Amino acid sequence: MTARVYTFFTAVFFCISAAFPATNARLAVENIAKFLTDSKSVTIRYVPISDSQALQPQIICIMGDKFKLNSNEMAVWYDGKTQWTYLTDTKEVSITEPTPEELAGINPLLILGTLLQHYSAKNVPASDNDTGAVELVPNTNVEGQLPISKMRISYKKTDYSPKKITVEFNAGNSLELQVKSITKGINYPHSTFVFNKKQLPQADIIDLR
């Protein structure tokens, strides 16, 4: 399993009655993005399901354009420019400078604001009255430029916190994130998002920059 697995939106209005749902859906996505960015940091504990296979629980810490991801299979550090990816089965750390398109495949939550520029949002049925759900699909003029072909977000109506995120990628694979808890406001030091060789002295370093 690679970090690309993980390791995020022009509505066309045919009539005035159709415009309001699209506007509300876009506003919902904006509020979800705001929920994730309106404090110093957000820490999300979730269970990923990749192509119908449940994986180990994971934790991702996001602060601005930086993030740190932890799981039993891997760890990812991203300081806003450089990414370090450690795979436990190979004990290797690869160093890259991912493009925005690559980041979309690694951490879709990090680029919600960017997706709104290139994707259309619409409301879709939710599981209960306390939950809202929106679906994002690429506009025709940007189709294929980002690795995400569809994203669906279920959220709490009370505060727009995400509950479940399902991402379908252009390559045909999919990823579902079942959110278990969200903590906001922790002031992480910059070192949290930078790989420290001292913590994994036996790891082989592969610089792909």
Query: What's the pLDDT at 158?
Result: 92
Q: How far apart, in whole angstroms, are the C-alpha atoms of residue 76 and residue 117?
A: 27
Segment 153-173 mean pLDDT: 89
Tokens of 90: 């190979």
Q: Tell me the per-residue pLDDT of 30-73, one tens digit each, with 9 for 90 and over.
A: 888 888 888 889 999 988 886 667 677 889 898 888 899 888 88
Strands 204-207 and 92-96: parallel
Looking at the predicted structure, is the pLDDT value of residue 2 above 80? no
Residue 142 has pLDDT above 70, yes or no: no
Second-level CATH architecture of 3-207: Clam (2.50)
Q: What digits encode the pLDDT tens for the residues 3-40?
A: 443 343 222 222 222 333 445 888 998 888 888 888 88
pLDDT of residue 110: 63
pLDDT of residue 23: 53
Range with the lowest mean pLDDT among 6-15, 28-37, 175-184, 198-207? 6-15
* The pLDDT of residue 95: 96
Angstrom distance (rounded) from CA 65 to CA 78: 8
Looking at residue 51, its pLDDT comes to 65
State the pLDDT at residue 105.
65
Per-residue tokens: 153: 């977000």
Tell me what pLDDT residue 176 has.
86
**Burial per residue of 8-29, b for 16 or more beta-carbon CB atoms within 10 angstroms, e otherwise:** bbebeeeeeeeeeebeebbebb
Give the pLDDT confidence of 66-124 residue by residue, as tens digits: 899 888 888 999 999 999 999 999 999 999 998 876 776 666 666 666 667 778 889 99
- Domain ranges across the chain: 3-207
